[in-house]
């Protein structure tokens, strides 16, 4: 049975008519081409070329197989071209979703790294509420969703992504800005801005109060973490926020304080159990996990 390399060599000799020409076409040394040609003919027990004045001329009995060899070679070239397109993501699209807290900073960082590897890949990013994530996956709008809550579902799998922490954000010019850490009881004494505690993301933010049985007064409720940051910067109160929302660094008008309690919480990436992930989705998940792990303060 002929190998692809043997087919390459036979075709190169057929096209150029010489060992030297075939070697130049293939970018290899001429003696290697000559040895492989002799080995191929010995193995097939068929003489493929007659040698005449330094040129290789196809034998009459072998001439009819050269058309087939050329067809195989071109099909291999087409396969290699298709693989190269796949390696770049050429003409393909990746659709992903994310809750706002992860999409704000982490997803763009992951996408930037992904585009370095797949520069031609089309990417569609959807910002979703937690309650929208299941439908997004079930109707096939996207392959994966980065999410901050775990839900039991028979079709959707929730894979651990990264562990995050909560921070307390205070106005930059406030008295609290002189601190580096703050206790949950001290947070509860101030007017709070936050996500609705009945919202899954809001429950993550207020869990430390429930854990210590602390009463708190949420004066202003907002839907997204970025809005909460802006309200705190406007000196309308203080807030608890996840570290991924403020991972870009210094957010104008606020200071981040460590909370004197265990505030770790898990995040997940959700995808369908019954549909294999594309290589692009797998790489996106790996890259996002790396970026979220690096983001820890």
Query: Tens digits of per-residue pLDDT, 197-208?
Result: 877 778 888 888
Which domains, and CATH codes, for the chain?
A: 4-88 (1.10.10.10), 93-161+267-295 (3.40.190.10), 163-264 (3.40.190.10)
In angstroms, the CA 95 to CA 140 distance is 9
Q: Which residue has the higher pLDDT, 239 or 47?
A: 239
Reported as a pLDDT band with limits 50, 70 and 90, residue 85 is low
pLDDT value at 275 more than 60:
yes
Q: What is the mean pLDDT of residues 164-170?
A: 93
What is the distance, to the nearest Å, from the Cα of residue 242 to the centroid of all Cα atoms in its chain?
A: 22
> In what helix (H) or strand (E) does residue 231 lie, and over which residues does it extend?
helix 225-233
Specify the range with the lowest mean pLDDT, choosing from 47-56, 231-240, 255-264, 277-286: 47-56
Provide mean pLDDT across the span 72-88. Answer: 65
In the structure, what pLDDT confidence band is assigned to residue 260 with cuts at 50, 70 and 90? very high
Whole-number average pLDDT of the chain: 87
pLDDT value at 33 more than 60: yes
d(CA 114, CA 109): 9
Q: For residues 132-146, give the mean pLDDT.
A: 91
CA torsion 286→290→292→297, rounded to 10°? 170
């Amino acid at each position: 049975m002929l190998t692809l390399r043997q087919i390459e060599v036979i075709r190169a000799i057929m096209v150029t008519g010489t060992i030297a020409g075939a070697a130049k076409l293939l970018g290899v040394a001429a003696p290697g081409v000559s040895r492989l040609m002799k080995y191929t003919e010995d193995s097939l027990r068929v003489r493929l070329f007659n040698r005449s004045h330094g040129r290789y001329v196809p034998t009459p009995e072998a001439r009819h197989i050269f058309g087939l060899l050329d067809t195989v070679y071109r099909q291999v070239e087409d396969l290699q071209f298709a693989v190269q397109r796949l390696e770049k993501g050429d003409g393909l699209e990746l659709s992903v979703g994310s809750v706002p807290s992860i999409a704000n900073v982490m997803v763009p960082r992951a996408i930037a790294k992904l585009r370095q590897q797949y520069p031609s890949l089309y990417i569609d990013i959807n910002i979703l509420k937690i309650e929208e994530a299941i439908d997004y996956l079930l109707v096939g709008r996207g392959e994966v969703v980065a999410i901050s809550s775990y839900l039991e579902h028979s079709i959707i799998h929730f894979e651990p992504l990264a562990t995050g922490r909560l921070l307390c954000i205070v106005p930059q010019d406030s008295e609290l800005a002189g601190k580096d850490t703050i206790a949950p009881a001290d947070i509860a004494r101030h007017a709070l801005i936050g996500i609705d505690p009945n919202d899954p993301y809001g429950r993550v933010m207020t869990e430390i109060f429930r854990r210590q049985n602390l009463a708190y007064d949420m004066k202003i409720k907002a839907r997204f973490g970025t809005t909460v940051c802006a309200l705190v910067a406007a000196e309308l109160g203080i807030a608890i926020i996840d570290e991924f929302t403020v991972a870009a660094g210094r957010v104008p008008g606020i200071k981040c304080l460590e909370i004197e309690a265990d505030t770790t919480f898990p995040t997940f990436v959700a995808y369908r159990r019954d549909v294999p992930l594309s290589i692009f989705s797998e790489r996106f998940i790996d890259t996002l996990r790396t970026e979220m792990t690096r983001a820890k303060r």
